[in-house]
Amino acid sequence: MKVLLPDGSDLIVPDGATGTDVAQTIGQRLAKAAVAVKINGEVVDMATAVHDGDSVAVITDSSPEGLEVIRHSAAHVLAEAAVKLYPGTKVAIGPAIRDGFYYDFEFPQQVGEDDLHKITDQMTRLLTEHRAFNRRQVSREEALKLFADEPYKSELIRDLPEGSAISIYTQGEFTDLCRGPHVPDTARIGAVALLSVAGAYWRGDSKKPMLTRIYGTAFPTKKELDEYLTRLEMARQRDHRRLGRELGLFSFHDEGPGFPFFHPKGMRVINALLDYWRREHVAAGYDETKTPIMLERTLWEHSGHWDNYKDNMYFTVIDEVDFAVKPMNCPGGTLIYKTDQHSYRDFPMRMAELGLVHRHELSGVLHGLFRVRMFTQDDAHIFCLPTQVEDEIVGVIDLVQRMYRTFGFERVHIELSTRPAKSIGTEEMWHTAESALAAALERAGLEYVLNPGDGAFYGPKIDFHIEDVMGRTWQCATCQLDFAMPEKLDLDYVGEDNQKHRPVMIHRTVLGSVERFLAILIEHYGGALPAWLAPVQAVVVPVADRHVEYAETVSRRLAGTGLRVEVDGRTESVSKKIRDGEVLKVPFLLVVGDREVESQTVTIRTRGSKETASYSLEKASAELDAKAAPPAVGSGA
């Protein structure tokens, strides 16, 4: 019989051939790397039979789909190891997730981080036994009998619709309920590591039992695993929550879960960031606006947020009228637009807002500044003519790229997301909007990936994913094209024909969430922010108490030019003060002693260097001003 390969060619294989046979027919090297096979678009086990005319693609261990299969299989081995080590353990679910896998257990005893090495050793022994993953289809009754002693598996089986196909996988003496697919045998999993332990409610319901969740990861080779663990350790050392606390930037408190508290040093960084943001936006033709945090429910109903976003909103009642705390700035921006009658000559109108928004996030997903319930969105709404859309989107793309280069983000991945299942507007609106975004990207000469069905409920969007120094990507900027909201909120302008028409609305952010972007910067730079962003740009270190007065003179001179400078007047040794300044990532340490007082100079030590240089006060001021100066507008550097 004949099967179709991804390159369009045909492959002749014997009747009854499996995915393994297809891989071996193509070549032994491919067969050795194969962990699963895709038949007619569905990823299945290598042992699955192929049929005449099937489209077949072999999934290797180096592909994203192959890694997912490896990690899902590793989760099963984790469950087997846990059951062997802790008799009486009840198993729940164990899926592959991004960068790894987890499995939830109900242990008969306390199991924590200190036990991970023991479980890992057991897993490693099991992996060396080369045991096959065998799949079997069973009836509902047989499945319930097999898992009679497993309450969580039994619950999952009972919740399946009548007549559902139920499959189980067995490796060695361990059997698990699973749809699969899995690698052919345990040896194909490669190298594994268990990473952490956490609590997790069964099926995410706080009214159900709290289980123990063990997180792990797996890679085809130990070299790849070691490289990943190195990156993981690097990320741990750069964790913005720890650095934010050590650098005195922000804190979180039980009185406001998910609501960050910014300290004076944190506000210095944010203000420096926003000063730069404002200068870039003024140069790009934006006017800044500000809208209220709470608005009446009727506005959110008209905008479509009530029907499409209310689960993520906070509400209150004022004078017996329902109000909502804004999760987005756009409806308020449209009210500013509607205060005047506009002409086609007014366009484009670019209105930017650093709007404080609130979104209800579940407590389990809160994560430092990365996931909060209150954040500042560097929003903008552009109102324009249909003929101006492409130019405006290209302008947004240029602004985004320029600002990202300023922070050292040279690698930016772009996605074009199309109409989701839950949306407003007509098919014609969506087609026009999606085509306009694609045309702008092509005009800008940018490569992008299509992300079907992931647009905003009111329009398609371009998402920009920046890549940090650790290779992680973060979605920050977005540009959303909206034909629907001007219609729903009755926005209009007078055209050349003296008739009323609907404007086009572009929603866009560059940083996304200012707070989240700050967290990304902290981890990207490991807390050593560029001098223009650093909360304290220079610390003057007097050698002894008699030098404090001169240190204060130096500080006042430098602060007079706008430098953020402090004096370390503690009764500590110079070496300790310097070490503390290095721990706090201060860009410039200025030492003053007898020699400096006599010559009216300072000795400057630059962060990351052991060398020092002596400068007159005038030259030191000019030198530090130049090195700590904010980026020039439009420079992208």
Catalytic positions are: 330, 359, 377, 379, 381, 461, 507
Residue type, 177: L
Q: In what order do the strands lie in the sheet with 493-494?
A: 342-343, 493-494, 500-501
Q: List Cβ neighbours of 397 (8 Å cut-off, separation of 6 or more).
A: 440, 441, 444, 446, 462, 479
Q: What does residue 182 show for φ and ψ, rounded to 5 degrees?
A: -135, 165
Residue spans of beta strands (DSSP E) within 52-190: 56-60, 90-91, 96-97, 100-106, 134-138, 166-171, 174-177
Q: Which is nearest to 355 in space by CA: 376, 385, 386?
A: 376
Strand partners, 81: none
Q: What is the C-alpha to C-alpha distance for residues 19 and 14, in angstroms, rounded to an integer?
A: 12
Strands 2-4 and 10-12: antiparallel
Q: Which is nearest to 565 in space by CA: 593, 535, 585?
A: 535
Distance separating the N- and C-terminal Cα atoms of the chain: 60
Q: List Cβ neighbours of 148 (8 Å cut-off, separation of 6 or more).
A: 154
Q: List Cβ neighbours of 248 (8 Å cut-off, separation of 6 or more).
A: 263, 264, 265, 266, 535
Burial (0-12, 13-18, 19+ Cβ within 10 Å), 97: middle
Q: Which is nearest to 537 in space by CA: 602, 631, 606, 611?
A: 606
The answer to whether the beta carbons of residues 476 and 464 sit under 8 Å apart is yes
Residue type, 597: V
Q: Which residue, chain included where needed, has tokens 């079907």? A: 452
Q: What is the C-alpha to C-alpha distance for residues 341 and 330, in angstroms, rounded to an integer?
A: 19
Cis-peptide into 331, omega within 30 deg? no
Classify the C-alpha dihedral 320-325-328-334 as positive or negative.
positive
Q: What does residue 316 show for φ and ψ, rounded to 5 degrees?
A: -150, 175
Helix (H, G, I), strand (E, B), or coil: what is residue 259? coil
Enter the tokens of residue 81: 């190891």
Q: What is the C-alpha to C-alpha distance for residues 313 and 18, in angstroms, rounded to an integer?
A: 51
The answer to whether the beta carbons of residues 325 and 314 sit under 8 Å apart is yes
Burial (0-12, 13-18, 19+ Cβ within 10 Å), 139: exposed
The CA radius of gyration of the chain, in Å to the nearest whole number, is: 30
Q: What is the C-alpha to C-alpha distance for residues 590 and 405, in angstroms, rounded to an integer?
A: 30
170: Cα separation from own chain's centroid:
36
Helix axes 548-559, 617-627, angle to 10 degrees: 50
